[in-house]
Structure 1
Amino acid sequence: MFAKRKAPPIRSLVGEGTVIQGDVHFADGLRIDGEVHGNVLASGSSSLLVVSENARVLGEVKAAHVIINGDVRGPVHADTLLELQPKARVCGDIRYELLEMHQGAVVDGELHPMKSTEKPALVLAASNDH
């Protein structure tokens, strides 16, 4: 039913133990294993952001495809897909086109689906229908 697009390559990494003070702007893919104290903003319509299990972002997060398994304290905006993995902790409002939320993920904020008439706004992580 849904056409799978190839994910952009992860070209940048914020390594574990690294703390960045200030905004991060990126294209293609970015993986965060450390901490960012500032906004993390993608350019382009096919961007991928991965916030790993031990990562922390204190600021706004915006990308086409966002995968969170760490801690985000700020608003999250996913233009195409937001994946909240089991250890995800989000404190802030979320805007998304499609949402996949695993058991154990925690959101302290409001969920706002972007308007779409072609596809459902929620995909169950345990479902085999996607």
Structure 2
Amino acid sequence: MFSRKKQPPIKSLIAQGTRIEGDVHFAEGMRIDGEVVGDIRAGSEQPSILVISETARVEGAVHADHVIVNGQVVGPVHAAELLELQPKAKITGNVHYKALEMHQGAVIAGQMCPVAVLVEEKPPLKLASNGQ
């Protein structure tokens, strides 16, 4: 779904020194450098990316297609496509992901739950016979 070239644009920023108390809903892309106490959820109409920077702290559930963490999250993280944990990431809570990229130094204190990928059941193969 995501290539390095076609990520959604980051249109929203919660700057360092800013604290938001309450749930946050966003579309396409968001970067957090400050603090959020509440759930963060991307809209489902289009692909989404959420960047939680080294200076950021989130207390609440996180939901987006592509989640990049280099700060602190206290709560569950749900990445519908890709979860990237950079070296200073610290997550206290369960993580749910389709694909995971974890750098040395990142910490998860919780369960790692890969999202089940539905695989189409294929019909059994029939061996070719020699006609006997």
TM-score by length of 1: 0.86
Aligned to 1:104: 105
Aligned to 1:125: none
Aligned to 1:121: none
Aligned to 1:123: none
Which residue identity is paired with 1:32?
I
Work out the CA distance in 2 between the residues paired with 1:3 and 1:101. Answer: 17
Which residue identity is paired with 1:109?
G
Residue 116 (structure 1) shift: 2.0
* Cα deviation digits, residues 81-120 of structure 1 (max 9, x gap): 00000000000001000000000000000000011267xx
Unaligned runs of 5+ in 2: 120-132
Aligned to 2:38: 38
Work out the CA distance in 2 between the residues paired with 1:79 and 1:65. Answer: 7
Mapping for residues 1-130 of structure 1, pairs under 5 Å: 4=3, 6-44=6-44, 45-116=46-117
Work out the CA distance in 2 between the residues paired with 1:94 and 1:29. Answer: 20
Work out the CA distance in 1 between the residues paired with 2:90 and 2:65. Answer: 19
| Runs ≥4 residues deviating over 6 A | none
Higher radius of gyration, 1 or 2:
2
Say which is worse superposed, 93-102 or 44-53, in terms of deviation: 44-53
Work out the CA distance in 1 between the residues paired with 2:6 and 2:110. Answer: 30
Residue 3 (structure 1) shift: 6.9
Unaligned runs of 5+ in 1: 119-130
* Cα deviation digits, residues 38-72 of structure 1 (max 9, x gap): 00000124100000001000000000000000000
Work out the CA distance in 2 between the residues paired with 1:71 and 1:3. Answer: 24
Work out the CA distance in 1 between the residues paired with 2:2 and 2:12. Answer: 26
Work out the CA distance in 2 between the residues paired with 1:75 and 1:38. Answer: 12
